[in-house]
Amino acid sequence: MKIGLIGNPNVGKSLIFSHLTGIGVEVSNYPGTTVDILSGVSCINRLPVEITDLPGIYSLDGESDEERLVRDLVTSRSFDVLVMVLDAAHLERNLYLFLQVLEHQVPMIAVLNMADEAEEQGISINTQAFSDICGVPVLLTAATIGKNLPEIIPLALEKAAIGHFQVSYDRHIEAAIRTLGRLSGADRISVLLALQGIGTDVLLLEGAATIAKEIEEEHQMPVSRILAGNRHHAATELSKQVITRAPVKESRGPDRWLLRPFPGVLIMAGVLISLLLCVFMVGSFFEELIVEGFDLFIIEPLKAAGFDPLVYELLFSFFIAIQAGLGIAFPFVFTFYLLMSVVEDTGYMSRIAFLADRIMHRFGLHGQAIIPMVLGLGCNVPAVMAIRQIGTKRERYIAAFLITMVPCSARTVIIAGIVAVFVGIYAALSIYLIIFVLILLTGIFLSRVTTGSQLGMVLEVPPLRIPSPGMVLTRAWIHIREFLVIAMPLLIVSSVILGLLGFYGILDVIELYTAPVMEGLLGLPTFASTSLLFGILRKEMAFETLVVLAGTANLTEVMTTLQLYIFALVSTLFVPCISTIAVLYREQGLKTAVLISIYTVLLGLVAGILINYVFRVM
């Protein structure tokens, strides 16, 4: 028995899902997409029921990855029963998707969630009337307080029905449905999809294309828009029949402050800065614990075990990679995403997108692109993956460049560990300033030279809500999973390779050849090139390697403050880490990945050389 949860974004679908399935949730990427699908198993009357949480969508006719995926799953009858979750407080808009799902003639039930919110707004819904009109069972729930949730599965198993409500479309569309139905034997929904160019039946598509062209000429409007209009009107009619509204005083709550230029922008800056500070404080505390624990229980025994030097080098590189990965993954990245998930689940993220839209336009991007950029502060890997969500190829290209320059938590460790400690807090802040100015300039430059079209943002701003702890954890886990799956294996492989390079003395050769650049232009000691090389592995390792090679944790003994400053700046800008390059390659192609790597190397070197010369001369 398979049940699919379908609905608009932000209707509490995921919360219902986690209530129904409990622990043991499986996250899977659908082949060919980066859309995450959650599925879990629940036992009812000793029968296993597989429940799948489909991504939130606004329409079944759209062209986005999510919409296409859900449509494919629904048309291929992948589920025995669909549970359509609707937001009772915004029922009219939700009915649009509901009417589309009804057309697919799959057994379903309607769950009107957020009943508590609707009640507060003076909205009461006649579920009996609703059920009578549509022909499917209707259940009123409130996921946040757990109301009626246990009844969902039994209702879906026993009472799910194929709805009988039909949207009456424009007469030309109805005529097309009859004609094409007669010609090819296709049902109503296949014809509707075919009229919009969706489907696999070549004959039907051909016929539909001819008719669609005529209809479009007649109406001066694409078929999809005619259908949307008809559905919305049907939804309005339907909602009028089932909703009664008691007059309540309208209030916009905190949005009155959050979405004004003043003080909204200040609040946004405050939220982001305190978020980063929090991540850094919590992160460095746990990082120390993990790294020390690792040293004590694995590295030390390894050193004492007395292996053959080559075996030792391999094992050492392997464990050091795991130590590094865990040391950065859980304390920094996981904390970051935990807090980020809170921000996402409250609905504040879309408010940030709104506030940032104007400034992002200067980079040839739009508000939605701020979301991956902010995610990039945690780790660039999931951030680059999140680029898929934004608009056109041009926008993705620009965003990829900018995101790889965003100082992730590993780079924050370098800046804090070297500059803040040995040079001073203002110097550390100045590095951030330099990076952000460079991001700005790069953005402005790219938006001038990159060809392609720009689409703006259309983003729903959901009501502010209190996030549920379970949901926050799941979301944070999904993000960290990407880091672990992609970054960790690469980290281990490249650590072993670098270990071997060191073992066979190749690193010394590299040091010899890069010495002119290091010493002459950047004014850094020669061993800095090795630590920069390790920095490609994982940014923070540039710092650790430097300490190892310098032979002392008190870096001021071997390097001047200027050298430390330049080292931090160069290694922060210099090439994204290997995992980011890999994910860039996967998401944006080889050319972009190479271009970005070269650009950042040059940027890092030029910035370092400039600073070196300016300060030497002064």
Q: Which residues bind another protein (CB under 8 A)?
A: 58-59, 61-63, 89-90, 92-93, 96, 220, 222, 224-225, 228-229, 232, 252, 255, 259-261, 264, 350, 353-355, 357-358, 361, 366-367, 453-463
The minimum distance between CB 226 and another protein, in angstroms, equals: 10
Closer residue to another protein in complex, CB, 233/591: 233
The minimum distance between CB 479 and another protein, in angstroms, equals: 23
The minimum distance between CB 351 and another protein, in angstroms, equals: 8
SS3 of residue 422 by DSSP:
helix
The minimum distance between CB 224 and another protein, in angstroms, equals: 5
User: Closest by alpha carbon to 366, among 377, 376, 374, 355?
Assistant: 355
- Rounded to 5 degrees, what are φ and ψ at 106? -110, 140
The minimum distance between CB 320 and another protein, in angstroms, equals: 46
Between the alpha carbon of residue 409 and those of residues 189, 332, 336, 340, 584, the distances in Å are 49, 6, 9, 13, 18
CA torsion 21-27-31-35 (nearest 10°) is 90
**DSSP character string of 232-260:** HHHHHHHHHHHEEE-------TTHHHHTS
The minimum distance between CB 397 and another protein, in angstroms, equals: 18
Closer residue to another protein in complex, CB, 261/469: 261
Closer residue to another protein in complex, CB, 45/451: 451
C-alpha count within 13 angstroms, C-beta hemisphere, residue 538: 29
- Residues belonging to the binding site are 7-14, 21-22, 32-36, 53-56, 113-116
CB atoms within 10 A of CB 288: 12
Closer residue to another protein in complex, CB, 315/459: 459
- Residues belonging to the binding site for GTP are 7-14, 32-36, 53-56, 113-116
Cis (ω within 30 of 0) for the bond into 263? yes
Closer residue to another protein in complex, CB, 118/410: 118
Closer residue to another protein in complex, CB, 7/525: 7
- What tokens does 533 get? 């090389």
The minimum distance between CB 566 and another protein, in angstroms, equals: 38
Closer residue to another protein in complex, CB, 123/536: 123
CB atoms within 10 A of CB 363: 22
Closer residue to another protein in complex, CB, 455/485: 455
Task: Give CB contacts under 8 A, 24+ apart, made by 266-272.
Answer: 268/351, 268/352, 268/355, 268/356, 271/343, 271/348, 272/352, 272/374
The minimum distance between CB 315 and another protein, in angstroms, equals: 53
Closer residue to another protein in complex, CB, 174/255: 255
How far, in Å, CA of 122 to CA of 139, rounded? 18
How far, in Å, CA of 340 to CA of 139, rounded? 32
Question: Residues near 49 by Cβ (< 8 Å), separated by ≥ 6?
Answer: 1, 2, 3, 41, 42, 43, 153, 157
- What tokens does 194 get? 């075919």
* DSSP H or E stretch at residue 601: helix 590-617
How far, in Å, CA of 206 to CA of 568, rounded? 61
Please state whether beta strands 2-7 and 36-44 pair in parallel, antiparallel, or not at all (unpaired): unpaired
Among all chains, which residue has been given the structure tokens 């001038």? 448
The minimum distance between CB 366 and another protein, in angstroms, equals: 5
Closer residue to another protein in complex, CB, 102/559: 102
CB atoms within 10 A of CB 433: 11
Between the alpha carbon of residue 575 and those of residues 22, 319, 518, the distances in Å are 42, 24, 16
The minimum distance between CB 78 and another protein, in angstroms, equals: 22
- What tokens does 442 get? 């790069």
Question: Residues near 432 by Cβ (< 8 Å), separated by ≥ 6?
Answer: 407, 415
SS3 of residue 349 by DSSP:
helix
Closer residue to another protein in complex, CB, 88/496: 88
Per-position b or e across 66-91, b if 16+ CB within 10 A of its CB: bbbbbbebbbeeebbbbbbbbbbbbb
The minimum distance between CB 41 and another protein, in angstroms, equals: 32
Helices (H), 330-424: 335-346, 348-361, 370-376, 380-386, 393-405, 409-414, 421-422
The minimum distance between CB 111 and another protein, in angstroms, equals: 19
- Residues belonging to the binding site for Mg(2+) are 21-22
SS3 of residue 549 by DSSP:
helix
Task: Give CB contacts under 8 A, 24+ apart, made by 552-559.
Answer: 555/418, 555/422, 556/422, 558/525, 559/524, 559/525
Closer residue to another protein in complex, CB, 63/72: 63
The minimum distance between CB 386 and another protein, in angstroms, equals: 18
Closer residue to another protein in complex, CB, 146/270: 270
How far, in Å, CA of 471 to CA of 222, rounded? 40
